[in-house]
Amino acid sequence: MSELWRNLLPLVLASAVVPSPLVVTILLLRSSTRAAAAWVAGMTVVRLAQGALFALIYSDGSTAATETPAGRSAIVSGVLLILSIMLFVTAAQKLLGEADPDAPPPKWMARIATMGPGRAFLVGAGLLLVNAKFWVFTLGAISSIEEAGIGRRASVATFVAFAVLVVAPQLLALGLALVAPSRASSLLDVVADWLQRNNRAIVVVVSLVFGTWFLIKALTGLRVI
C-alpha cells in the first residue's frame, strides 16, 4: 500500500496544484457558497464516474498479458509517459505565451459571477470532461491502483481518497468560507489574486517538475533507464 501511495501522491499533487479550479472556486465564493460547492461537486462526480468507467474497462478488457504484473506495470508506465509529454507541451505553450490549456473557456469565466448552483455544477463537470490532462491524471491513478492488486473494496476506497485529495484546496477554501466568512473573504481574495498574477509561472514550474518526475517513472517502469 505504501508503494501505491508513492505512485499516487505525485498524481494527486500535480492535479491539485493546477491553479484555475481553485481560482474559480474562490471567485464563486464571492457571490455564492452554494455555487462554489456545486462547482466542486461537479468536478468530483465526473472524476468518480471516470474512475468507474476506467475500472469497468480494465475488468472487462484485460488480457493474459495485462493480468501479469509486468503487463500492468507497462500500462502504468505508458500512461505516465503520455502524461509527461502532455505536461511538457503545456510548459512550452505557457512559455510561448499561449492560452492556459487547463483554464475554463473565457465565456465560462465571464459568467462566473452570475452562476447559480446548477450551472456551476455543469461547468465543473464540463471542465473535467473536456480537459484531456485531467482524464489522464485519473487514468494514471486507476492504472496505479490496478497495478497494486489490492482487491476491489480497497481499490474503490483508494480511488475515492484520491478524488477527495485532488479537490482538497477547494474543500479548504469552502471550509474557510463556512467557518469564518468575514476573515476568509479577504484571505481568499489575496490567494486568488496571487494565483492569477503568477498563473503562468506556476503552470510552467508544475508542468516541468511533474513532467520530469512522470517521465523518469515511465522510463524506469519500461526499463529504459
Measured between alpha carbons, how far is residue 77 from residues 1, 33, 62, 73, 176 in Å?
Answer: 18, 40, 16, 6, 38
- CA-wise closest residue to 204 among 77, 116, 34, 89: 89
Q: Are 202 and 19 in contact (CB under 8 A)?
A: yes
What pLDDT sits at residue 58? 63
Largest pairwise CA distance in the chain: 58
pLDDT of 64 above 80:
no
pTM higher than 0.75, yes or no? yes
Q: What band does 70 get if pLDDT is binned at 50, 70 and 90?
A: low
Per-chain mean pLDDT for the chain = 84
pLDDT of 30 above 50:
yes
What pLDDT sits at residue 60? 56
pLDDT of 37 above 90:
yes
What pLDDT sits at residue 192? 86
Q: What band does 65 get if pLDDT is binned at 50, 70 and 90?
A: very low
What pLDDT sits at residue 66? 47
Q: Are 85 and 219 in contact (CB under 8 A)?
A: no
Cα–Cα distance, 97 to 222 (Å, whole number) = 34
pLDDT tens-digit readout, 165-210: 999 999 999 999 999 888 888 888 899 889 888 888 888 998 899 8
Q: How many domains does the chain have?
A: 1
Residues in the chain: 225
**Residue written as grid cell 466542486:** 40
List the single range of 25-29, 57-61, 134-138, 220-224 with lowest mean pLDDT.
57-61
Q: Are 173 and 25 in contact (CB under 8 A)?
A: yes
What pLDDT sits at residue 69? 59
pLDDT of 101 above 50:
yes
Question: 90-99, 167-176, 216-225 — which one is most confidently predicted on average?
Answer: 167-176
Domain, as residue range, for 107: 2-221
Q: Are 145 and 158 in contact (CB under 8 A)?
A: yes
Q: Are 109 and 177 in contact (CB under 8 A)?
A: no
